[in-house]
Structure 1
Amino acid sequence: MDPLITINPEGKITDVNEATVNITGLNRDRLINSDFFNYFTEKQKAREVYQEVYEKGSVSDSPLTLKHKDGKLTDVLFNGSVYKDDLGSVLGVVIVARDIAEQKWALDLRVANKELAFQNDEKEKRAAELVIANKELAFQNDEKEKRAN
């Protein structure tokens, strides 16, 4: 389950699910009424994304990093939208933070594989050049021997 957080217009957490408790290492009572931005490595960036939710009504796939009380960092994609009362007044924001550790690992692996493929291509080119150079050297040695005799 992804962390789900509701936040009031002042940026204070009003509710969380168990996944949020697990990813922060803090109990629900400690999280509620605390400053939402304190749980990210880049507080200002979290504020900007939060403001964007208010301005646009929603955001999706904004990358942020959540921090656990023990220092563990978790890269997440931040998705949020405003929620309103029956009269259309904004009451706050609902946030879902999707853990992208596995996606990031797969992306890093893909980049590493591309680099390895590139290096292999370069090695094959150098090997082909060495074959040509060896043939040329053998030819030159043969020519030197002919002249020496």
Structure 2
Amino acid sequence: MKRFALALAAALIAGPAAAAPLCDDLGFAGLLAKCNRGEPIQLTLASGQPIHAGSGPIELQSGAYYEIHITADGSAELAVMGPAFFRSVWLNEIVINDIEVRPMAVDSLEFDAAGTARISFVAIKPGSSELMIPGSTGDAQRVQFSIR
């Protein structure tokens, strides 16, 4: 019982283990406040091209708002899937050709022609996940996300 009480006291003194949002005063808009937004993430779907130009995982902060812009060049019918990624975020909306969709859940998006989809979300669950082109095996055909 003493160990439990000591552990509880240490946890209360140490404070929360999760990362705080990007700004202190979220204001009227809450988590969607402008100061709580990370940089937009650009992904490209093109036959034989890497999905993301960067190397290493994309670091996201739990509680922060982000946008992913996925642009397909129309060179092939391609999809991007990531059920684990979509389960670790709260989806605000997906915008395709100025049509806003507010889904409860998503596993993948498929592009039959050239176009752009914008996914806005709040990162929630800490850990690692990925978005990838289904059926691909190369590292260039997937992008890793790390939510801290």
**TM-score, scaled to structure 2:** 0.22
- Larger-Rg structure: 1
Between the two structures, name the one with larger relative contact order (CA 8 Å, sep ≥ 6).
Answer: 2
Which protein has the bigger strand share?
A: 2
Which protein has the bigger helix share?
A: 1
